[in-house]
Amino acid sequence: MIRAEGLHIALGGRAVLRGVDLQIEAGWTAIVGPNGAGKSTLLRALAGLLSPQQGSVHLQGREMREWTAPQRARYLAWMAQQGETSGELSVRETVELGRIAHLGLGGVPGAQCRAVVEQAMQRCECSDWSARRLNELSGGERQRVLLARALATEAPLLLLDEPTTHLDAPHQVALARLFRQLAREGRGVVSVLHDLGLALQADQLIVIEAGRVRAAGHPADPALQRALEAVFGQAIRVQPGACGRPQVHLNLENVDGD
Ligand SMILES: Nc1ncnc2c1ncn2[C@@H]1O[C@H](COP(=O)(O)OP(=O)(O)OP(=O)(O)O)[C@@H](O)[C@H]1O
């Protein structure tokens, strides 16, 4: 669905991405790495929101700059880390914004549009408060609404920057289940995640370190697990888990010591 080749991006005079090559197919891909590694920058480049100084991004085999903004908006949905929204809008109005690429500005939602919006709200468990304003919601509730807006685009590819940050444990699990469902429907979900336990449930894991891809592959790949331990050091331990997927534990053994 998306391919990056030799991606170099500098921000504020500093090299942030230093030659990133990757390929992402349909399914759920998780991008992980330390703070400041370049994960959000990479996701923004994959969304066409940042132009690389060197290298290229191809969507469906066609270079990003050949896509018009409306074509891109139909093909990929973007959810920012600090979800930008107008707090004055209701939940339903916010999710309806996901339909703009189909309706155009000022377009009146028809029955099919309303059905898509309703389903997106149900999948993200926010139908019950569809009339409430965004600025009345908690952080986790707002995050679910922004995810529903991304789903309502019906874009084949979702690029989500830390979509689980504000979610409680049951909703994190529900989101992982939703990503797997979307993958089965043939959609691509690319999520930057800090929760390594969740990330290991993805079909593909990409480990970013200091602006480079340190490792990429299926979470069950031992080389990938070794890369995770190398990047995150003694803060984590990767151990065999159920269903062929490893589990990650925070190493809290020495928090009382020095
Ligand atoms: N607009 C900017 N100008 C200058 N430097 C920037 C800018 N945006 C990001 N950076 C720097 O680029 C590096 C990568 O930032 P990025 O947000 O991509 O990291 P990240 O891996 O997503 O981190 P986190 O896990 O903390 O969200 C950081 O060192 C950051 O300080």
Residues 97-122: tens digit of each pLDDT: 888 777 666 666 677 788 999 999 99
Instruction: Please report how the helices 111-123 and 139-152 are oriented relative to each other, as an axis angle in degrees rounded to 10.
Output: 140
Using a 6 Å CB cutoff, which residues line ligand 1? 11-12, 14, 16, 33, 35-41
pLDDT tens for each residue of 123-175: 999 999 989 998 889 989 999 999 999 999 999 999 999 999 899 999 999 99
pTM: 0.92
What pLDDT, on the 0 to 100 scale, is given for residue 105? Answer: 62
Q: What would the two tokens of residue 115 be?
A: 């059905």
User: What is the topology classification, in CATH, of domain 2-250?
Assistant: Rossmann fold (3.40.50)
Q: For residue 6, how far is its CA from the centre of ligand 1 (angstroms)?
A: 19
- CA–centroid distance, 111 to ligand 1, in Å, is 42
Q: Measured between alpha carbons, how far is 21 from 42 in angstroms, rounded to an integer?
A: 11
> Tens of pLDDT along 46-94?
999 999 999 999 999 999 989 998 889 889 999 887 666 677 889 999 9
DSSP letter for each residue of 192-253: E-S-HHHHTTSSEEEEEETTEEEEEE-TT-HHHHHHHHHHHGGGEEEE--GGG--EEEE--T
| Predicted confidence (pLDDT) per residue in 204-254, tens digit | 999 999 999 999 999 888 888 889 989 998 888 888 877 778 888 888 887
Report, as an integer, the average pLDDT of 188-215. 95
The pLDDT assigned to 107 comes to 65
